[in-house]
Amino acid sequence: MTADVPPPPDPTTAATTADFVRSLIRLKQWAGEPSLSRLRSLGGQTLASDGTTVDALPKSTISHVLRQTGKLPRWDFVQAFVTACYRYRDYPAERIPGEIERWRAARAALAGPAAPASPDPVERPAPVDATAPPERDHAVELLARRVAREEDRARKGMLGGYSLAPVSFGPSAVPGEADGDLHSIGRFFSGLRSRRLLVVGESGAGKTVLAIELVLQLLESFLTSDQRPDDRQMVPVHLNAARWILGCPFEQWLAEQLQRDFGLSENEAVRLVRDRRVLPVVDGLDELDSGPSGPPRRAIGLLTELNRYSDLSGRRPGAVVVTCRADRYTELFEARIGLDDAARIHLHDLTTDQIRAYLQARWPDGHPCGAHRDGIRAALSGPPETAVHMALSTPWRLQLLATAVESGAHPAELLDVDPDRDPREAASRIVRRLLDLYVPAATRLTPRTAPHQPEQVRKWLEHLAAHLSWQAADTKRPPGLTAVDIVPHLLWPIGGRRRVRALHCLACVVLAVIAMLAFWTGSAMDQPDDLTPSEGVTLALMAAWVAIATGLSLSPWPAAAGGRANVPRKRRVIGSLLGALVGLPLGVLGGLAGLVLTSGKVFGLLYATTAGATGGAVLGAVIGLTAAGRRDSERMAVREAVRAEPFTLLGFGLCGALTGLPPLRLAHAGPVPMALGVTGAFALAFALGVVFKITTGGWSRDAELTHPREALHRNPIIGTAFGLTGGVAAFLVFLMNQSVIESLACALVGGVTFGLAFGAIAWCRAMIGLLVAAARGLLPLQLWTFLDWACEARLLRVSGATYQFRHRELQDFLTPPKPSDDTQAHSAQQRLPAL
């Protein structure tokens, strides 16, 4: 401790219990008077005697103990309280165990050798052993594993292997002797007292690669068996800055990203962010604002939020890493906005020696491209060396050159420039040449199962780039959809927004009408010109359901639900069995209620109990199967489910009312039984819809999406489950009017069409959009295979639950010019907003 900082209170001077308690009060004052809530957070959690997890420092316990000067506090409370105070004061972590030992000795001297434990009316957490390792936080370990998996995949997708370009960094843009490299970035960051870092570099300088390397190096202590991270070590998480929404609090956004990209539950994500167990590595601050006009409002907004983001004590800025392009950083600097208390490093251009070393490592002696290596070296030392070096001064552009050469291009042609031309203009011409050759070169070098031609690949990528450009300009896009994210189920506008939505609406109307015709046939309804009043009500309800289905199909941006992944099969089987056991008696009660309302005129007691038990068991089994998830997984509340999709739930209720009408009609029930039966069936179906929404619509809160298309693949499965579950109830009703074969056929047709119209809206929209785009030649029909192949070819990469272009410079190069720039009226960029 320095001379101007007072030392902590000495507990060994306490002669009585009252003195010891006053020492605790002085320690709290010395720490800076942390609030009770902050002490509770810093004190952590422990296990109670019944095995439940409780706070080690409940607020009521702190107040009670510090007021009881005549009672010696328990050691588990003293240990947690002293640790929390030292942590709040930012006391050196390595010295805290020694201070705790002083407090333990002082308390032991007052307690005596055989002092009995005094009764304590407050909550008693289980004793904590100061020498025992900290309790494992399973949420932290789960997050660390998933982050490591994602970053390893991203690293291989960008580099194609394990070799790194010799990127160096330093405190200034000019290389110096104290520079570091990618292999030392983890040690460099760990040595920063503020734990705040701003990485600045030119486009293609390796900012994203450095961010990935930093995350993987910091994760080693979590993943290596012979190392154990301390209980306050943060999990680094690589985040795309472009997904931040202007005006959104950073902590809220960070918790949402943990849920979306890494499948944490809402409570776990909020807790880890609140307890500062997450190190945000925010990549791409420059990508928040598109276009050179106007100030970078979104980047300024995010930096403002990051400057409000504090550490656990609330008295210092929170740990964070931010990467930004050099020109954007200059704009922010001129606007007098920056990342407070952050160390700034600049990524340096590759030197000629570094370029030569990289080529030597990539093409060693005896490599087929070894002869071309000498040609590149000659260009770097010849008359146009300045222009050539400027063109190859970043790892990304060096990758472009290596790919072109390995595909058969000659370096002399690639690097040929007029020595009398301005070096910057000459370097720009080289870069455009390399970008122009990259797609055909990567296409030829990548093994493939589909015979993609380079011209086709480039055309399809251009349409994807044009879609991203339109996506960035669309002010009504879904929150979080950015100018760089290719989301599979949101690519349908490429086929033409109005055209695809109109076709989707038409398809949904057809599916809804087919579902109602199947119900009409299975229920043995009369001809429309000879309807009874009850049949007229049935027809009105059917028309209302078709109208709701049509309205849902016109949704601007249908959302694809996720799904619970990696759930053990045993847990799913148990969930299904429990659901069936619960649903069976409820179904019997429903059958008996129908028997009473129809006065036994349509079916008897045996059919009521058998059909009710069968329907209830099936419904319960499906719900139990889909509800199975990880232990302590987050669930949606009923209010959230109703608020999320009220019209869908209304459609469920109408289908229930339709299903309850045929038995009442056959029994010629009076108005009162008819009203009771229809209302009860409506309420039951509405409740089942809420349950389905909670067990399936809430999947995304508990999902581990291992691939960007995972949610889209599960969407039709969820929709079919919706429909077939309702089809079981319809089948039991149809048996009162039709044979088993006819009833089964009507139930299957109606159930599938109902599910596609109601539960698989996102999938239907995506498929229709893909068919239209493929028919117009804008995208391949096998789009999903093409996207995976493009990632293998390192034209695209996977970023969390989305695809992205390999580099923003490649995306910008492939984006067709806007109509105001030239007369390319046939370009995809023009067509997308117009249709």
Q: What whole-number distance in Å separates Cα of residue 219 and Cα of residue 207? A: 18
What are the CA-CA distances from residue 754 to residues 496, 661, 731, 749 (Å)? 26, 18, 14, 8
| One-letter amino acid for residue 522 of the chain | G
Mean pLDDT throughout 179-188? Answer: 86
Q: Which position has the token pair 């409780």?
A: 54
| 55: three-class secondary structure by DSSP | strand
Beta bridge partners of 638: none
**Model confidence band, residue 278 (pLDDT cutoffs 50, 70, 90):** very high
* Residue 709 predicted with pLDDT over 80: no
**Least confident among 45-49, 283-287, 396-400, 424-428:** 45-49
Burial of 822 by CB count in 10 Å (0-12 exposed, 13-18 middle, 19+ buried)? exposed
CB atoms within 10 A of CB 131: 6
Who contacts 470 (Cβ-Cβ below 8 Å, separation ≥6)?
493, 829, 832, 833
| 32: three-class secondary structure by DSSP | coil
Mean pLDDT throughout 247-261? Answer: 87
Strand 196-201 vs strand 180-181: parallel, antiparallel, or unpaired? unpaired
Q: What whole-number distance in Å separates Cα of residue 109 and Cα of residue 113? A: 8
CA proximity to 617, closest of 654, 588, 642 = 588
| Residue-wise DSSP of 772-791 | HHHHTTSS-SSHHHHHHHHH
Q: What whole-number distance in Å separates Cα of residue 457 and Cα of residue 792? A: 13
**Model confidence band, residue 47 (pLDDT cutoffs 50, 70, 90):** low
Mean pLDDT throughout 308-335? Answer: 89
Compute the C-alpha angle 108/110/114, nearest 5°. 65
* Residue 154 predicted with pLDDT over 50: yes
* Residue % of the chain over a pLDDT of 90: 17
pTM of the model: 0.71
| 696: three-class secondary structure by DSSP | coil
Backbone angles phi, psi at 799, to 5 degrees: -125, 100
Q: Higher model confidence: residue 225 or residue 677? A: 677
**Model confidence band, residue 638 (pLDDT cutoffs 50, 70, 90):** confident
Structure tokens at 146: 């998933």
What are the CA-CA distances from residue 234 to residues 135, 231, 239, 345, 635 (Å)? 15, 9, 15, 22, 26
pLDDT at 136: 66
Q: Higher model confidence: residue 611 or residue 462? A: 462
CB atoms within 10 A of CB 114: 5
**Model confidence band, residue 704 (pLDDT cutoffs 50, 70, 90):** very low
Instruction: Please write the tens of the pLDDT for every residue from 653-674.
Output: 888 888 888 888 888 778 888 8
Beta bridge partners of 631: none
Q: What whole-number distance in Å separates Cα of residue 218 and Cα of residue 563? A: 30
pLDDT at 823: 40
b/e per residue 145-156 (b: at least 16 CB within 10 A): ebbbebbeebbe
* Residue 251 predicted with pLDDT over 80: yes
Q: Higher model confidence: residue 216 or residue 711? A: 216
CB atoms within 10 A of CB 176: 10
pLDDT at 665: 80
Instruction: Please write the tens of the pLDDT for every residue from 354-368.
Output: 888 888 888 888 888
Tell me what the pLDDT averaged over the chain comes to: 80
Contact 801, 466 (CB under 8 A): no
Q: Which position has the token pair 């119209």?
A: 757
Structure tokens at 128: 């904590």
Backbone angles phi, psi at 137, to 5 degrees: -100, 105
Q: Which position has the token pair 């009672």?
A: 71
CB atoms within 10 A of CB 533: 10
Q: What whole-number distance in Å separates Cα of residue 799 and Cα of residue 344? A: 26
* Residue % of the chain over a pLDDT of 70: 85
pLDDT at 730: 85
Which parts of 291-422 fold into alpha helices (H)? 297-308, 326-334, 352-362, 370-381, 385-391, 395-406, 411-414
* Residue 829 predicted with pLDDT over 70: no
pLDDT at 117: 37
Q: Higher model confidence: residue 36 or residue 330? A: 330
* Residue 261 predicted with pLDDT over 50: yes
pLDDT at 514: 92
Who contacts 415 (Cβ-Cβ below 8 Å, separation ≥6)?
376, 379, 384, 388, 391, 401, 430
* Number of DSSP helices (H) and strands (E) in the chain, helices first: 33, 11
Mean pLDDT throughout 6-18? Answer: 85
Strand 343-347 vs strand 235-240: parallel, antiparallel, or unpaired? unpaired
What are the CA-CA distances from residue 425 to residues 53, 74, 413, 422, 429 (Å)? 65, 75, 17, 5, 6
| Residue-wise DSSP of 235-247 | EEEEEEGGGPPTT
Who contacts 362 (Cβ-Cβ below 8 Å, separation ≥6)?
163, 402
* Cα atoms in the Cβ-side hemisphere of radius 13 Å centred on 44: 20
Q: Which position has the token pair 């498929």?
A: 767
3-state secondary structure 362-385: HCCCCCCCHHHHHHHHHHHHCCCH
CA proximity to 43, closest of 27, 59, 55 = 55
Mean pLDDT throughout 1-13? Answer: 71
Element (H, E) at 44: none
CA proximity to 804, closest of 790, 786, 783, 784 = 790
Beta bridge partners of 180: 169
pLDDT at 527: 60
CB atoms within 10 A of CB 220: 12
Who contacts 809 (Cβ-Cβ below 8 Å, separation ≥6)?
203, 204, 396, 435
- Rama region for 564: left / alpha / beta (φ>0; ψ in -120 to 50; rest): beta
pLDDT at 231: 56
* Residue 337 predicted with pLDDT over 70: yes
**Model confidence band, residue 440 (pLDDT cutoffs 50, 70, 90):** very high
**Model confidence band, residue 163 (pLDDT cutoffs 50, 70, 90):** low
Q: What whole-number distance in Å separates Cα of residue 830 and Cα of residue 832? A: 6
| Residue-wise DSSP of 684-739 | HHHHHHHHHHHHTGGGGGGB---STTHHHHHHHHHHHHHHHHHHHHHHHHHTTTS-
Instruction: Please write the tens of the pLDDT for every residue from 674-701.
Output: 888 888 888 888 887 787 777 665 433 3
Burial of 563 by CB count in 10 Å (0-12 exposed, 13-18 middle, 19+ buried)? buried
* Cα atoms in the Cβ-side hemisphere of radius 13 Å centred on 633: 24
Mean pLDDT throughout 211-225? Answer: 85
Q: What whole-number distance in Å separates Cα of residue 793 and Cα of residue 782? A: 16
Radius of gyration of the chain (CA): 33
Backbone angles phi, psi at 682, to 5 degrees: -60, -50
Q: What whole-number distance in Å separates Cα of residue 281 and Cα of residue 198? A: 10
pLDDT at 526: 55
Structure tokens at 105: 């000795």
Structure tokens at 183: 């292999």
Q: State the chain's maximal CA–CA distance in angstroms.
A: 101
Instruction: Please write the tens of the pLDDT for every residue from 99-129.
Output: 888 888 888 888 764 333 334 333 444 444 4
Distance between start and end Cα atoms, the chain: 69
Compute the C-alpha angle 529/533/535, nearest 5°. 65
What are the CB-based long-range contacts (under 8 Å, 24+) for 97-103?
Answer: 97/130, 99/8, 100/130, 101/130, 102/10, 102/11, 102/12, 103/11, 103/78, 103/79
pLDDT at 451: 63
pLDDT at 529: 58
* Residue 742 predicted with pLDDT over 60: yes
Structure tokens at 743: 């009833």
Beta bridge partners of 283: 240
Which range in 55-59, 544-548, 721-725 is most confidently predicted, on average pLDDT?
544-548
CB atoms within 10 A of CB 644: 16
Structure tokens at 809: 């410079």
Beta bridge partners of 430: none
pLDDT at 705: 46
| Residue-wise DSSP of 477-539 | SPTT--SS-B-GGG-GGGG-HHHHHHHHHHHHHHHHHHHHHHHHHHTTPPPGGG--HHHHHHH
